[in-house]
Amino acid sequence: MNESGKAAQEMYMDVLPEHQLPSLNFTQEESDVISRCDVNIATVVKEYAQKWLFGKADVDATWDEYMKKMNSMGLQDLIGAYTSAYERMR
């Protein structure tokens, strides 16, 4: 974590100490998966959230399409990378 991240984390330590998320240390392979998948998946999440929130699409009617798109972009690989890092930390 860089200095800005540490400063931000410290700023909230007194406010929500019981809700802090652990810092995860990723292997190079996990970092590669995150780099490859994270931005594309975040874009799809934002795209569909906007459609749903502004009434441009029905959540129920487009959910399967949304999940298919997310999975095609490596969602399961991304979940696996975070899960592996979390399991090592525990």
pLDDT digits (tens, 9 = 90+) for 28-57: 999 999 999 999 999 999 999 999 999 999
In this predicted structure, the answer to whether residue 70 has a pLDDT above a threshold of 90 is yes
Model confidence pTM above 0.75: no
- Measured CA to CA, the distance from residue 14 to residue 19 in angstroms comes to 11
Which range is least confidently modeled, 6-15, 56-65, 66-75?
A: 6-15
Q: Are 82 and 24 in contact (CB under 8 A)?
A: yes
pLDDT at res. 8: 73
